[in-house]
Amino acid sequence: MSDQLIFATEVILNGLMAGVLYALVALGFVLIYKASGIFNYAQGVMALFAAMTLVGIMNGQVPFAHLINAIFGAHITHFGWNVPALLAIILTMGVMVLLAWAVQQFVMRHLVGQEPIILFMATIGLAYFLEGVADLMWGSEIKTLDVGLPQGLNVWIDDTTYGILGYGFFIDNLDIVATVIAALLVAALVAFSQYTKQGRAMRAVADDHQAALSVGISLNFIWVLVWSVAGFVALVAGIMWGTKSGVQFSLSLIALKALPVLMLGGFTSIPGAIVGGLIIGVGEKLFEFAIGPLVGGATENWFAYVLALIFLVFRPQGLFGEKIIERV
């Protein structure tokens, strides 16, 4: 096997694992869009908010410490203890559920029946509001997130370990963990959607709000549930991306990577989010490997959007999306 083929195999594997991380973010968009028809622009900021909250809780940081100190002239920053990672994750999930309730109670409940563009603009406002709250709560400095996931080292695969063709290449440990966690999360979401009472209610709301109301399904409860699940997905994505590149405000931009994934897979399909993420991940890595040197590199910044544009022209509903037919 030539060195080029070995390197291409490594590129494909790393692309698959990068695609899983893209799909994690896209899942949050799909869940909210399916249940309410809202394209949640704030999903990336929710991942940032969850990651910053997790770091703050783990470090025993006092929320809004900068604001408290400025108003009262105090000098508090920390409670004086650290919180174990597992407990901090549980507490952060509680915060995300509280956030889901607040979003439904104070924002979305008042916009029922509005045009989709109004709902979309509301999520843009929510995104900037959450970003500001996160800054006030935990500060704007770059934070290190370590919940015990393997990171930093690479796995050498050769004939002495996994025996793949007798050749060696490197895969990031964190990417392997992220792939496993994402696969389990997707399986859990599909099982929840298909086999639980709440999951079936979510699907009913997604199909027809009025019909769901007529059989006694509470839209408020379902929407809080959906935003809570999306918050959990954002927390998992925030942990993975935050561990990989640090918790910083650029973390919210991962939502932009989810857009081409949604266009490929379809806005209403959970499997589509996964397949779309894998296609984008592998495609951008292979394109950079094969074509990048010919055009000066940096193709990963625009490849996904070009591919998404092609799909919009020839298959607007995506690979797994539902084709909408309007009769007039």
HSE-CB for 173 with a 13 A CA cutoff: 10
> Does any domain span residue 29?
yes
- Structure token digits, residue 292: 């990048």
HSE-CB for 159 with a 13 A CA cutoff: 3
Where would I find the H helices in 59-145? 65-72, 85-106, 116-138
Q: What is the pLDDT of residue 151?
A: 66
Q: What is the pLDDT of residue 126?
A: 93
> Does any domain span residue 323?
no
- Structure token digits, residue 305: 């959007």
- Structure token digits, residue 144: 């290190």
> Does any domain span residue 322?
no
> Does any domain span residue 319?
no
> Does any domain span residue 263?
yes
CB 305 within 8 A of CB 257: no
Question: What residue numbers bound the domain in which 41 lies?
Answer: 3-314
CATH number of the structural domain spanning residue 99: 1.10.3470
Structurally, the chain folds into a number of domains equal to 1
Q: What is the pLDDT of residue 163?
A: 42
> Does any domain span residue 111?
yes
Provide the b/e sequence for 245-261 (b: ≥16 CB within 10 Å): eebbeebbebbebbbbb
> Does any domain span residue 320?
no
Name the residue among 51, 25, 47 with its Cα closest to residue 252. Answer: 47
Q: What is the pLDDT of residue 162?
A: 44
DSSP state of 157: E
> Does any domain span residue 325?
no
List per-block mean pLDDT (blocks of 10 residues) for the chain, which spans 328 residues. Answer: 69 83 83 80 90 93 87 83 92 94 88 82 92 90 85 51 50 79 81 82 75 80 88 90 83 81 85 87 87 79 88 83 57
What Rg do the C-alpha atoms of the chain give, in angstroms?
21
